[in-house]
A and B are shown apart, each in its own frame.
Chain A
Amino acid sequence: MPLIRVLCIDDERQIRKLLKIGLEAEGFLYSDAANLNEGLDAVVKQKPDLVLLDLNLPDGYGLDLLKRIREFSDVPVIVLSVKDQEADKIALLESGADDYVTKPFAMGELLARMRAILRRNTVPSALPQFRAGGLEIDFERREVRVHGEKIHLTPTEYNLLCLLAKNAGKVVTTQQIMREIWGPGLANETGYLRVYITTLRKKIESVPDAPKLLINEPAVGYRLATVPVVE
């Protein structure tokens, strides 16, 4: 397996150093950039397999950089943010970020997120099946099984689960879900989504009150876990 190249764009020298040690120890090929322009340059020249992007850069916002990257590249991007930036997070996810990690983060959590995204990207996108934590989805037959047992889902429930499964490991914002499933006219009726999430959890989770698969990202959206969540 070739080495995976990770580009970190962060203005804090200490964070870069920490990530360099942590990620190289885990077998990644690490490189970094300290600001927006260098970062953009590095993405173009080094063609990394994954980008870790800090939100606040000395010469601009991470969001602007992300938009420019998305003009020419589909490289997975994980955003490193601080708390209380829910609005920014939503904007980032809608602009094409794949996930975010809140600082201060545990190295284990960051690695788990990175691997989840990398795995999703290495598997062909038009995959006929989804499998995680006892949940199996057969897209061709439109069948869902939990621990091998076939369960019945309404069309809306199935569409919702498919949307999350196709973005598995990635946070899908509430607004994205609303637009995809209910159309732009009902984008603000988030109550519907809540109800469907509750019924879906009852059908696919073993303990619906402590969900391990259908994860709520408070005030941002939902995510279907590909591996059991690391706390």
Chain B
Amino acid sequence: MPLSGENRPDADLLLSAVNKAESERRGRLRIFFGMAAGVGKTCAMLRAAHRLRGEGCDVVVGLVETHGRRETGLLIDGLEVIPRARVEYQNVVLEEFDLNAALARKPHTIVVDELPHTNVPTSRHPKRYQDILELLDAGINVMTALNVQHLESVADSVESITNVHVQERVPDSFIDIASDIELVDLVPEELIKRLEDGKIYAHDKAALAANNFFRKGNLTALREMALHFTASFVDQELQDYRTLKHIDATWKAADRLLVAVSPGQNSENLIRMARQRAFQLKGRWFAVHIDLGRVLTASAQKKLHQNLNLARELGAEVISVRDTDVVTGLLRIGKQKNATQILIGKSPHTFWQKILGRSMLDRLIATSGEIEVHVYGDNSAAKPGTDFIASLNLTSSRHQYLLAVSATSLTTILSFALYDVIGYTAISLIYLSVVLTLGLLVGRGPLVVAATISALAWDYCFIPPRYTFYIGKLEDYLTLGIYFVVAMVMGNLMARLRLREQVLMTREERVAAVYNFSRILSRSTSLQETVSKTIEFISRFFSARVSLNLREKDGKLNLQAAEGSNRKLSPKEASVAFWAFENKKPAGCHTDTLPLAAATYYPLISTGGIVGVLGLRLRKKIRLRPDQEEILFAFVNHAAITIERDFLASEKRRARVAEESEKLHAAILNSISHELRTPIAVIRGAVSAMQLSSTGALPPAHRDLLAEADLAARKLNVLVSNLLDMSRIEAGKIRLNRQNHDLRDIIKEAVERLSSELADDSVRVDFHGKDFSCNCDYTLLQQALINIIANAAIHNKPQTEISVSCVAGPTNEIKVRISDNGAGIPADLLTTVFEKFVRSPAASPGGTGLGLPIAKSIIELHGGSIAATNRPTGGAAFEILLPRRPETESK
């Protein structure tokens, strides 16, 4: 049984629903879906674009093919169109959708027609739908159009119905990310009529198209498919909604499907079928390839990769393992992954199975236990007759055959020397021992060859009458026959034994490699060491050149390969690495993105996100086998986790240093505050005590001296307070004690408290507006205002007016403007006036140059801003914009 309970939603399902909701932050994909060309998808899309534009959205046309249709051309008018990129390929200039221009333009919504289009090979992605994925990732909404026949899962059915080959296909998983699917429907008769009127293709093409494709029968079938697909999409939407909103429904036990993938033609259909089934069951599915250790021909290997990639594209988790037997391999993975169903293609019985009467399928069904086994028919049945050859697995390398032939030839030559001594019967034993020894070294094919050649050579060269294939005696017939059978059976057994041993060895090697790698990484003590060890190990393991780019502190990828990399990145290669980093997907050679690159780039993804990119360049761009790729993924994962661990460790070190310095800072602050303030308190207290009349009358000169001393002590106190405030602000130690206050109270009291400093100046305070309530720190904000007004008082021409005006509009901001009639701010100080210790040369000595910076910091802590200007009529003006509520709250 699967681990998750029967009535609970599968965690993966919930996750995928949440992911979909989360992708709302990404662009929304809207697909206009139709049964065939000409139903009006492009027009519908452009009309929607106009509607959006009418609502004030920023809509642009990335690419629309008009096919010379007048109606469509008219609809483009009035929309911004991104010019197409001109791409030269094999001396032909082609026009393509300009992805970079679209990303740079970053509109709200973009229209990109013809979803299944295949790009020019030099483009970034081979397929247009991949361009669209990138647009969506960049947060751009996309509208696009698609015909039902281009869907991967229905393309085959379309081919068999219409007899038209569908070359451009879109994976169904792409449709899953769409937020909306809009079906554009038309009655087949109407479509045919539009076609005849020349509204779809130019007239000469129309006849051809009508013959092949646009027949009423075809169109009806396509229409049914389109309707059916849309309905199933809507059903999925509903399911997602249920999952997200915790609507109780009858949850199926989570099904997990396992589909067996082989290099065969049939496998492709099987994968599509598995995908549909998984989709219907809302289950996870795995595509499993069992590598029996046979050497595959180049075309078979390519086909296998295609099949596995197809499965990956359709949303399967791909697993490739080595095993001696398909049945045991499948069941092993099935148990590991808690599979509930195994899907397998119906394979024709092989020659041997016919003889032994027990097919692979029989054994699978017999041993599968709880797991259901589904067998799918094969519509491209292997031709009989190839059976026997195929069953022999004659797919060993050439030098194995060479070894088999030369070993038997050599034995024959040797036997000539021995013939006179031991006679012809014993020679068969020499041959037999050679064939058995070969069984330890070569595969089944070469073994059959060796057994056959040796039998023939023995007969021809040694069995009397010699040098003919004719055999004189009955017992010699019998001996030859028995020899052949024994050689074949024993050789085969030896070969199988060897294969099993090999499988075990590779499995062990893999485990050992991963273990070694993790041991090496766990010993590394620094990031530098981890990086160089990773590069060294992987490059040795795959005999490849390896580069590693790490994430910088700002979260961007460092385009310089890390120290220790044994390849340098050209700007072009670096851009591939960058893509892999940004999109968290492998890119480069043998992938779908920028396949012309020299190396393949794998993102290093750990639990905390992506930490870097590993570039692997193999000799002659050979491709990794699926099982090798899997080891690589294991290495990459491990490296990512270790690098993140090192990142965290260095961050922790940094944090500790910061913490230490902060402690020191606080200690210094405390000591300054205590050590400086106490003497000031004593001076001020002593001076003020002497000034009191009750301590006795003083001569006028002493009285003046005491007044000066008192003033100096007060100034010193302000200086110390300012210094402390500034360092507190800079250390981020100041916390706002926000409460609702009336700004008028704060301003009035600030002016009131400044009355002694403002003796020479008159201050005019006026308020405009009704609501002056403001969520702020009373003391700090008042201090900021006091600092600014005091500054104005210092610079103001005596006997003139300082104006404080406060304007509270209906918006979230209150404006306070403080202006004086002084000399104004010198032009070169206008930008630096709020910096620490910047003082106007005109200012009277005694200030600290800290008043304005403190005021600015306090206002900015409140989320406000302050600017200094010179008034046209002379004097300086400070304008404060203060939000009534903190930003986060007002949202």
Q: How far is the CB of A34 from chain B (nearest CB, A)?
A: 14
Query: Out of A105, A194, A219, which one reaches B685, CB within 8 Å?
Result: A105
The residues of A that contact B710 with a CB separation of less than 8 Å are: 106
| Contact present for A15 and B778 (CB under 8 Å) | no
| Contact present for A82 and B673 (CB under 8 Å) | yes
The yes or no answer to B402 lying at the interface (CB within 8 A) is no
The yes or no answer to A198 lying at the interface (CB within 8 A) is yes
CA A108 to CA B710, docked complex, whole Å: 13
| Contact present for B689 and A22 (CB under 8 Å) | yes
CA A22 to CA B696, docked complex, whole Å: 12
| Contact present for B779 and A209 (CB under 8 Å) | no
| Contact present for A107 and B689 (CB under 8 Å) | yes
- Of all chain B residues, the one with the shortest Cβ separation from A103 is B681
CA A110 to CA B684, docked complex, whole Å: 12
The yes or no answer to A104 lying at the interface (CB within 8 A) is yes
| Contact present for B678 and A12 (CB under 8 Å) | yes
The residues of A that contact B740 with a CB separation of less than 8 Å are: 190-191, 194
* Stretch with Cβ within 8 A of A (4 or more), from B192-200, B488-496, B745-753: B745-753
The residues of A that contact B748 with a CB separation of less than 8 Å are: 209
The residues of A that contact B474 with a CB separation of less than 8 Å are: none
| Contact present for B681 and A104 (CB under 8 Å) | yes
CA A19 to CA B692, docked complex, whole Å: 13
Q: How far is the CB of B248 from chain A (nearest CB, A)?
A: 40
Enumerate A1-60 residues with CB–CB distance to B below 8 Å. Answer: 12, 14-15, 18-19, 21-22, 25-26, 56
Question: With A18-B689, A104-B677 in contact, is A194–B742 under 8 Å at CB?
Answer: yes
The yes or no answer to B741 lying at the interface (CB within 8 A) is yes
The yes or no answer to A124 lying at the interface (CB within 8 A) is no
- Of all chain A residues, the one with the shortest Cβ separation from B717 is A104
The yes or no answer to A210 lying at the interface (CB within 8 A) is yes
- The count of chain A contact residues (Cβ–Cβ below 8 Å) is 33
The residues of A that contact B737 with a CB separation of less than 8 Å are: 86, 219
| Contact present for A218 and B782 (CB under 8 Å) | yes
The residues of A that contact B694 with a CB separation of less than 8 Å are: 25-26
Q: How far is the CB of B729 from chain A (nearest CB, A)?
A: 12
Chain B binding surface, main DSSP class: helix
The residues of B that contact A103 with a CB separation of less than 8 Å are: 677-678, 681
| Contact present for A108 and B741 (CB under 8 Å) | no
Could you mark each residue 179-221 of chain A with 1 if its beta carbon is under 8 Å from any beta carbon of chain B, else 0? 0000000000011001000100000000001100000101100
The residues of B that contact A231 with a CB separation of less than 8 Å are: 755-756
| Contact present for B677 and A108 (CB under 8 Å) | no
| Contact present for B685 and A15 (CB under 8 Å) | yes
The yes or no answer to A83 lying at the interface (CB within 8 A) is yes
CA A109 to CA B685, docked complex, whole Å: 10
| Contact present for A104 and B680 (CB under 8 Å) | yes
In the complex, which range does the number of interface residues on chain B fall in? 35 or more
- Of all chain A residues, the one with the shortest Cβ separation from B752 is A210
The residues of B that contact A107 with a CB separation of less than 8 Å are: 685, 688-689, 691-692
Query: Which residue of A19, A21, A84 has the most chain B CB atoms within 10 A of its CB atom?
Result: A84
Enumerate B638-688 residues with CB–CB distance to A below 8 Å. Answer: 673-674, 677-686, 688
Query: Out of A22, A110, A190, A216, which one reaches B749, CB within 8 Å?
Result: A216
Q: How far is the CB of B689 from chain A (nearest CB, A)?
A: 4
The residues of A that contact B212 with a CB separation of less than 8 Å are: none
The yes or no answer to B832 lying at the interface (CB within 8 A) is no
Enumerate A86-110 residues with CB–CB distance to B below 8 Å. Answer: 86, 103-110
- Of all chain B residues, the one with the shortest Cβ separation from A26 is B694
The residues of A that contact B727 with a CB separation of less than 8 Å are: none
The residues of B that contact A219 with a CB separation of less than 8 Å are: 737, 777-779
Q: How far is the CB of A112 from chain B (nearest CB, A)?
A: 11
| Contact present for B752 and A209 (CB under 8 Å) | yes
| Number of residue pairs A-B, CB distance < 8 angstroms | 91
| Contact present for A218 and B682 (CB under 8 Å) | no
Q: How far is the CB of B827 from chain A (nearest CB, A)?
A: 36
| Contact present for A108 and B745 (CB under 8 Å) | no
| Contact present for B678 and A106 (CB under 8 Å) | no
The residues of A that contact B714 with a CB separation of less than 8 Å are: 104
The residues of A that contact B683 with a CB separation of less than 8 Å are: 104
Question: With A21-B689, A191-B773 in contact, is A105–B741 under 8 Å at CB?
Answer: no
- Of all chain B residues, the one with the shortest Cβ separation from A191 is B740
The residues of B that contact A18 with a CB separation of less than 8 Å are: 682, 685-686, 689
Could you mark each residue 50-73 of chain A with 1 if its beta carbon is under 8 Å from any beta carbon of chain B, else 0? 000000100000000000000000
CA A18 to CA B741, docked complex, whole Å: 39
Question: With A22-B689, A104-B684, A198-B745 in contact, is A14–B678 under 8 Å at CB?
Answer: yes
The yes or no answer to B721 lying at the interface (CB within 8 A) is yes
The residues of A that contact B749 with a CB separation of less than 8 Å are: 216, 218
Enumerate B550-599 residues with CB–CB distance to A below 8 Å. Answer: none
| Contact present for B679 and A218 (CB under 8 Å) | no
The residues of B that contact A56 with a CB separation of less than 8 Å are: 674
Query: Which residue of B688, B692, B724, B778 has the most chain A CB atoms within 10 A of its CB atom?
Result: B688
Q: How far is the CB of A181 from chain B (nearest CB, A)?
A: 17
Enumerate B288-329 residues with CB–CB distance to A below 8 Å. Answer: none
- Of all chain A residues, the one with the shortest Cβ separation from B745 is A194
- Of all chain B residues, the one with the shortest Cβ separation from A210 is B752
Q: How far is the CB of B773 from chain A (nearest CB, A)?
A: 7
CA A186 to CA B449, docked complex, whole Å: 99
The yes or no answer to B479 lying at the interface (CB within 8 A) is no
CA A86 to CA B735, docked complex, whole Å: 12
The residues of A that contact B773 with a CB separation of less than 8 Å are: 191
Q: How far is the CB of A103 from chain B (nearest CB, A)?
A: 4
The residues of B that contact A105 with a CB separation of less than 8 Å are: 681, 684-685, 688
| Contact present for B778 and A218 (CB under 8 Å) | yes
Query: Which residue of B673, B685, B695, B745 has the most chain A CB atoms within 10 A of its CB atom?
Result: B685
CA A22 to CA B748, docked complex, whole Å: 35
The residues of A that contact B695 with a CB separation of less than 8 Å are: 25
The residues of B that contact A26 with a CB separation of less than 8 Å are: 692, 694
The residues of B that contact A21 with a CB separation of less than 8 Å are: 686, 689
Q: How far is the CB of A1 from chain B (nearest CB, A)?
A: 16
CA A195 to CA B42, docked complex, whole Å: 64
CA A231 to CA B694, docked complex, whole Å: 18
Query: Out of A15, A25, A194, which one reaches B681, CB within 8 Å?
Result: A15
CA A191 to CA B714, docked complex, whole Å: 34
Q: How far is the CB of A154 from chain B (nearest CB, A)?
A: 19
Query: Which residue of B684, B714, B724 has the most chain A CB atoms within 10 A of its CB atom?
Result: B684
| Contact present for B692 and A108 (CB under 8 Å) | yes
The residues of A that contact B181 with a CB separation of less than 8 Å are: none
Residues of B within 8 A of A (CB): 673-674, 677-686, 688-689, 691-692, 694-695, 710, 713-714, 717, 721, 724, 737, 739-742, 745, 748-749, 752, 755-756, 773, 777-779, 782
| 6 A-B pairs in the complex with CB atoms less than 8 angstroms apart | A18-B682, A26-B692, A103-B678, A194-B742, A218-B778, A218-B782
Nearest first, the 9 A-B pairs at minimum CB distance are A104-B681, A106-B688, A22-B689, A104-B684, A107-B689, A107-B688, A103-B681, A14-B682, A219-B779
